[in-house]
Amino acid sequence: MDKTALLFAGQGAQVVGMGRDLAELYPAARALCDRAGEILGYDLARICFEGPESELTRTENAQPGIYLVSWLALALLKGELPGLTFEATAGLSLGEFTALAAAGSMTFEDGLRVVRLRGRFMQEACEATRGAMAAIIGLDEPTTREVCAATGVTLANLNCPGQIVISGDADRIPLAIELARTRGARKAIPLPVAGAYHSPLMASAQPKLAAELARIPLSTPLIPVISNVTAAAHGEPADITRLLVGQVTGSVRWEESMRALIAQGFTRFIELGPGTALSGFLRRIDKSVSVFQVSDAASLAATVTALRT
């Protein structure tokens, strides 16, 4: 029997209009959007649906917005397929919170609150530093690590073969880009982000996030949830908190996480939330696995049809 893992989108997947058709077509989705507004005290769904883009891309809105739309996708998929089972979850950066909620480690409500605050704390860290990020295409991990060490920047995301994201001081990223090109990178591209995520420049967000996580009840997940930091399953609540705090400045070991699941016999993956980045990464990692995606009404219908056959 196929083992199924759910994958949850991370920051950068946000797009104005995300979730709108789901809320328009499904009363359960509209109710979740209304509930999110009650929890946060402002209309997050309206920002997701209407923007403006400058408001949605603010970290403190993008993170809870993606969390909400990912949860809509999960709730509707489960509603359409009552017999759906899944044996593990994982999420890219903020998506790890959605993955933990889906696995019963925290409630939807607590996850939404803490992700909103995580976004605010990271926004504050961005504003207090001069950070930047870049995508390095076509360079292997050891060589990219050498580039980082030589220029004083950090490996932020190890996404899939040939795609690594680096992060650090805004004055050092151009140096790293140039060195990566000379070392054989096919492309080295600055990213349009607010700061240096998953680098030491985010450290000021960590104690604030730790304090907020201490306020919410966490449970051991009902199924394995893969940690970005270790590329292995989360354990007890204290370890979950430690790893979520460490994730703010640590590297996202996404390729290694997916390979770990595949090695454990997972052959079916469902990406939930805006965008298709995780599906694309997975196809680069292993073309033999089945990949499905739910971000809007059309992809929900397609995935439901495929999973029913």
Indicate whether 9 and 93 sit together in one domain. yes
In a domain, 286, yes or no: yes
CA distance 112 to 98: 9
Q: What is the pLDDT of residues 93-103, one digit of tens each?
A: 999 999 999 99
Q: Which residues of the chain have pLDDT under 70?
A: 1
CA distance 188 to 177: 5
CA distances from 182 to 26, 147, 150, 164, 178 (A): 52, 10, 13, 16, 6
Indicate whether 95 and 9 sit together in one domain. yes
As for how many domains the chain has, the answer is 2
Phi and psi, residue 186, nearest 5°: -65, -40
Indicate whether 123 and 155 sit together in one domain. no
Q: What is the pLDDT of residues 4-55, one digit of tens each?
A: 999 999 998 999 999 999 999 999 999 999 999 999 999 999 999 999 999 9
CA distance 7 to 92: 8
Last residue of a domain, one of 190, 208, 236: 190
In a domain, 230, yes or no: yes
The CATH number of the domain where 220 resides is what?
A: 3.40.366.10
Indicate whether 144 and 80 sit together in one domain. no
Close Cβ partners of 295 (under 8 Å, ≥ 6 residues apart):
18, 69, 73, 271, 272, 273, 274, 275, 276
Which residue segment(s) compose the domain that 204 sits in?
Answer: 3-127+200-308
pLDDT value at residue 194: 85
Residues with a known catalytic role: 93, 198
